[in-house]
Amino acid sequence: MVQLEVKVEKQWKTVVRYDCAHDFSHRDRYNWKGEQLKEYLNLPYAEALTIADEDIDDNWEIYMFEFIRGMYL
């Protein structure tokens, strides 16, 4: 699991999570309320992990901006 979080008023909130739980690779994007949008990746676990690391490294600022502005979901 690879996850990006933001601290909001002393509480950590998940912004985006790449995961292989439930026996498939997927990405979950969250809003302020903790609601999630699940995107199926249909990738082998090792490839999903590589993509997750690269995506969050390259796009963390965009994810944070969208989360803070309430643009998810």
Per the CB < 8 A criterion, the answer to whether 16 and 27 are in contact is yes
Residue 65 belongs to what H/E stretch? helix 45-68
4: confidence class by pLDDT, cuts 50, 70, 90: very high
Any domain includes 73? no
User: What's the domain range around 52?
Assistant: 2-68
Question: pLDDT digit string (tens) for 7-66?
Answer: 888 889 999 999 988 889 999 999 988 899 999 998 999 999 999 999 999 999 999 998
Dist. CA 68–CA 70, nearest whole Å: 5
Dist. CA 51–CA 7, nearest whole Å: 24
pTM for this entry: 0.86
Any domain includes 14? yes
β-strands 36-40, 2-8 pairing: unpaired
Q: What domain count does the chain have? A: 1
Any domain includes 27? yes
Any domain includes 10? yes
Any domain includes 29? yes
Any domain includes 12? yes
